[in-house]
Amino acid sequence: MAKGFNSRGMPGMGGGINMNMIKKAQKMQEDMQRMQEELENATYTATAGGGVVTAVASGKKELTGLTIDPEAVDPEDVEMLQDLIIAAVNEALRSADAAATESMQKITGGLNLPF
């Protein structure tokens, strides 16, 4: 074998397994699993229409609660109520996504890993 190449022909990479890297990867995996469980158990609340509609979503991105102030219920304007519900639910789900992204970046140190 040529000098400076490992068994796969990659220069400077060495042929052995780096135990420190394995331990770091295992720790990262454990941290990610723990963080995933925490995120799934968290709740995210958002409001729309000045607070007349409140939506609560779980970290599993499921709607778990919806509160509608009776003042928001106008039989003549059902479309407005529908829009407020959609806005509140979407904002709660965006909050769950943002929390997951932020937590993952803390664990991976900002690496763009494909998961």
Domain ranges of the chain: 19-108
At the fourth CATH level, the homologous superfamily of domain 19-108 is: Nucleoid-associated protein YbaB-like domain (3.30.1310.10)
**pLDDT, greater one: 39 or 45:** 45
Q: What percent of the chain has pLDDT over 90?
A: 44
DSSP line for 21-54: HHHHHHHHHHHHHHHHHHHHH-EEEEEEGGGTEE
Residue 11 has pLDDT above 70, yes or no: no
Overall average pLDDT of the 85-95 stretch: 95
pLDDT, tens digit, for every residue of 43-83? 999 999 999 999 999 988 899 999 999 988 999 999 999 99
Count of Cβ atoms closer than 10 Å to residue 27 Cβ: 11
pLDDT band for 40, please (50, 70, 90 cuts): confident
Model confidence, pTM: 0.66
- Write down the pLDDT at residue 14: 54
- Write down the pLDDT at residue 100: 86
Identify whether the C-beta of residue 105 lies closer than 8 Å to the C-beta of residue 33. no
